[in-house]
Structure 1
Amino acid sequence: MKNRKWKWGAPVAVLAATSLVAGCGTTSPGTGSSGSAPAPIQVGVVTTLTGVLAEYGKEWQRGFKIGLEYATNGTDTVNGHKINVIWKDDAGAPNQAVTDAKTLLENDKVDVLAGGVNSASAIAMEPLAKSHKTVYVVGPAVADSITGQYYNNYIFKVSPNSYMEAKAAVLSIPNQTATVAQLAPNYAFGWDSVKAFKSLATQAGLKDVLDVYADPAATDFTPQLEKIIQQHPKYLFVTWAGAPGPWKAINDLKLQQQGITVVTGIPNIAAIQALFQGFDGMRGFTTYYYTLPNNAINDYLVAHDKSEFNTVPDLFDPDGMAAAIAIVDGLKKTNGNANGDTLSAALAGMSFDGPKGTYTFRKQDHQALQDQYGVVLKNETDFNYPVPTLTSVISAQDSAPPVLNSGSGN
């Protein structure tokens, strides 16, 4: 089935803020009474299904569901334990994320925690994973501090971090002696991205001449862009998540016509369609586009997104799928034991196969190392958006970030 036309904000099944439980039962994992089936394993997911970042949460949710199907051969069972998933919608608000996580941990008694679209929400939930000694698989939040300043032994970050994305961005700039400015949102995601890019750009020979921040909910970016135009860098690296973002203003002020080349991380399909019309030929990087990986697991993801959700995988579908595969593979190593310390020990240093190839949870900080992709946007027949086309595979080794935690996660 070909389905190549996409609409901004196309309807996807939206979950209410209340819990939706796949399966039933609240018993802690382990062997039931004599002759009974092993107790179910409860996985609680806090993600964003309404609000500005809802599309990202919905993508992650689709991928997680498909990943659980893939990893368990459609049984939703590991070592005899049924896996039940409880979903919570934090609407992108850190306070709500904390409330949801507390409910999952204290009322629903979940054995594993997952999710976190907004970096601030993920960071806010990390202490709860530690205090409840529960593994928390984070994604798709990207802030370096998740596995750095706020790291603890129960945190496993399946999504790339800001450094990894910044390294990919630097590698996508052909002139490594040019001047560059940055525009980013004024919160943890933006701060970490700017810091990482500046360090890497300087190491590569680029000169970072200006860093400008804007409110994540801003609609007028003229003041920030005018500052950048006054500096007139050769390149402008834009870090942004969500719509509408600064793209219309960049077009309206004709930055590229003024000799300022825009470089960015390529977002999901709906955002490409809505924001990047007229950006044919723009170079950048992406963590995923569904035609870029060449492996059987990605083929499974593409086929099941089409058959189950009438769409193709988007930016964060593979992230959700990888999270589910990692949880199941970890539980297979522990023979179904979801105890936080036991499962953490099994996941630390573990490599597993996912839709982007091989992922490895680095033992020192539990950041998942993984490939990324250099791309150029190209107009193609039958697509109503410029298509990310592969220019290079940026290997997990080439984009591996430094270990940023203190060395103690207790």
Structure 2
Amino acid sequence: MKPNTSTAATAAGRGRLLPPLALVTAAGLLLAGCASAGTAGTAAGGPASATAPVKVGLIYSRTGPLAAYGLQYQQGFEAGLAYATGGSGKVDGHRIEVTEDDDTGSPTTAVADAKDLIGKGYKVLAGTVDSGIAVQLAPLAAQNQVLYISGPAAADAITGSNKYTFRSGRQSYQDVAAAGSLVGDPAGKKILVLSQDSAFGQANVAAVKEVLGAKGATISSVLVPPSATDLTSYAQQVKSAAPDLVYVAWAGANAPALWTALDQQGVVGSVKVVTGLAGVASYPLFGDAGSKVSFIAHYFPGAGGDNPVETAMINGITKAGGTPDLFSPDGFTAAQMIVHALQSSTTSTATMVGALEGWSFDGPKGPEQIRAADHALLQPRFQATLVGTGAAAKPQLVATLTAAQVAPPTVTMAG
């Protein structure tokens, strides 16, 4: 698929031209120009230049079911580029050009986009919200020796997939480890997973068994058909199981019906119910149940506390007319990582990879580190509660879990 947006280089580029602010602020994305890893040529394979533009491909959902998350990621990315390059839009004198491609939520489209960019000489790719897409882009990075930094996609399989692949967001293990922190010692506890009967739901059940089952908890599940609208009987099943903790992993338009059923059947309030805190738009969906639920959070605005990097991200996004949200840090962090990699070299992918491995830095969420052994992104997580209902609902920080508290086990690097 052809890019939907071309970057700041020229008005003759394809698709949407980044606004002047994004150009100056979208700093830091230097892409190893074109031909081979060792020359900084043009995208068409022209002669090298000490100040030739460097190019980055940003693949994310501008349209499709995850478009709202894609927008959060993209807005964070532009703010991160501004921050990482001090607003210059350059690294070592190289102008930055960012080409945005819409993956539409389709792995086929995303792979075609990536192949097109790689064929034009791009050496740095970033993005995608969808795990099914990210796990297909990772092998392309290894095959073509390009740097790939995955976005909000949470699949554990991305970590350690190959030496060219990194991630700027969290992974599922960190979600489950954060949830487990709310039950204390899992040994002997009954933990029930409530989710949809889908690949997403089954993966969550598997993750809870791997993380908390291995620590002595008894894991059960209630899996609901994704199309179900009357969820009362499923709430009754949860209550009858009398678990010590209910872990809800849910995605879909029937979320308000789920939380209403759990509240009406007396599940929330009588049992510890834990779920992930999604974006700002989801806060009103919990209704009266919201104040009774324990939330684990990847991020929400203000979670970073007295953190100047978070302040810079929030200010950058709002000044550009955006709204800071759940996956804003994933884009911002990706830009930080890319600029750091390009400061080591604008032409050698191997040097970029080496610069990122083991790198510790301050992100919008707080201190983070890229684990050298498998490229896991070690990062803090948050416990929160919702205060208020309806449009007035907003999260309140309860506790911050350090990166070490939720760190995934090290895996052997593939490839």
TM-score normalised over the length of structure 2: 0.83
Distance 2:69 2:335 in 1: 16
Alignment correspondent of 2:144: 132
Distance 1:56 1:269 in 2: 11
Cα gap change, 1:305 to 1:208, in 2 (>3 Å): same
**Which of 36, 40, 50 is the matching residue for 2:53?**
40
Cα gap change, 1:186 to 1:155, in 2 (>3 Å): farther
Whether the 8 Å contact between 1:62 and 1:305 is mirrored in structure 2 is yes
Distance 1:389 1:226 in 2: 29
Distance 1:280 1:128 in 2: 45
Note the alpha carbon deviations across 1:329-364, whole angstroms, 9 max, x for none: 111123x33x32221122111112211122211011
Give the secondary structure class of the aligned counterpart of 1:271.
Answer: helix
Distance 2:47 2:117 in 1: 28
Cα distance, 1:89 vs structure 2:
1.2
Alignment correspondent of 1:84: 97
Give the secondary structure class of the aligned counterpart of 1:384.
Answer: helix
Note the alpha carbon deviations across 1:20-68, whole angstroms, 9 max, x for none: 1112389426278999552222111111122221111100000000000
Note the alpha carbon deviations across 1:210-251, whole angstroms, 9 max, x for none: 253644x7656567556545534343211234x314441341
Alignment correspondent of 1:251: 260
Unaligned runs of 5+ in 2: 11-30
Say yes or no: does 1:353 pair with 2:362.
yes
Whether the 8 Å contact between 1:256 and 1:262 is mirrored in structure 2 is no
Give the secondary structure class of the aligned counterpart of 2:63.
Answer: coil
Cα gap change, 1:284 to 1:174, in 2 (>3 Å): farther
Which shows bigger deviation, 187-196 or 46-55?
187-196
The residue identity in structure 1 corresponding to 2:123 is D
Cα gap change, 1:40 to 1:245, in 2 (>3 Å): farther
Give the secondary structure class of the aligned counterpart of 1:352.
Answer: strand
**Which of 385, 401, 410 is the matching residue for 2:408?**
401
The residue identity in structure 1 corresponding to 2:414 is G
The residue identity in structure 1 corresponding to 2:9 is C
Distance 2:116 2:232 in 1: 42
Say yes or no: does 1:263 pair with 2:274.
yes
Q: How many residues align?
A: 383
Alignment correspondent of 1:373: 382
Alignment correspondent of 1:53: 66
Give the secondary structure class of the aligned counterpart of 2:399.
Answer: strand
Whether the 8 Å contact between 2:151 and 2:331 is mirrored in structure 1 is yes
Alignment correspondent of 1:238: 248
Cα gap change, 1:233 to 1:367, in 2 (>3 Å): same
Cα gap change, 1:144 to 1:219, in 2 (>3 Å): farther
Distance 2:303 2:2 in 1: 34
Distance 1:190 1:135 in 2: 31
Alignment correspondent of 1:196: 207
Cα distance, 1:267 vs structure 2:
0.4
The residue identity in structure 2 corresponding to 1:375 is A
Distance 1:370 1:238 in 2: 22
Distance 1:61 1:19 in 2: 13
Give the secondary structure class of the aligned counterpart of 1:82.
Answer: strand
TM-score normalised over the length of structure 1: 0.84
Whether the 8 Å contact between 1:67 and 1:321 is mirrored in structure 2 is yes
RMSD: 2.8
Distance 2:287 2:128 in 1: 26
**Which of 317, 337, 340 is the matching residue for 2:349?**
340
Alignment correspondent of 1:109: 121
**Which of 299, 302, 309 is the matching residue for 1:288?**
299
Say yes or no: does 1:24 pair with 2:29.
no
Note the alpha carbon deviations across 1:146-204, whole angstroms, 9 max, x for none: 115xx011110111111111100111236855422113355665444332222332355
Cα gap change, 1:137 to 1:163, in 2 (>3 Å): same
Distance 1:230 1:260 in 2: 11
Distance 1:393 1:122 in 2: 28
Distance 1:43 1:179 in 2: 47
Alignment correspondent of 1:331: 342
Distance 1:104 1:34 in 2: 19
Give the secondary structure class of the aligned counterpart of 2:266.
Answer: helix
Whether the 8 Å contact between 1:329 and 1:352 is mirrored in structure 2 is no
Whether the 8 Å contact between 2:329 and 2:365 is mirrored in structure 1 is yes
Whether the 8 Å contact between 1:145 and 1:192 is mirrored in structure 2 is no
Which shows bigger deviation, 301-310 or 126-135?
301-310
Whether the 8 Å contact between 1:119 and 1:143 is mirrored in structure 2 is yes
The residue identity in structure 2 corresponding to 1:361 is I
Cα gap change, 1:401 to 1:214, in 2 (>3 Å): farther
Distance 2:349 2:222 in 1: 41
Say yes or no: does 1:320 pair with 2:305.
no
Cα distance, 1:309 vs structure 2:
1.6
Give the secondary structure class of the aligned counterpart of 1:236.
Answer: strand
Give the secondary structure class of the aligned counterpart of 2:369.
Answer: strand
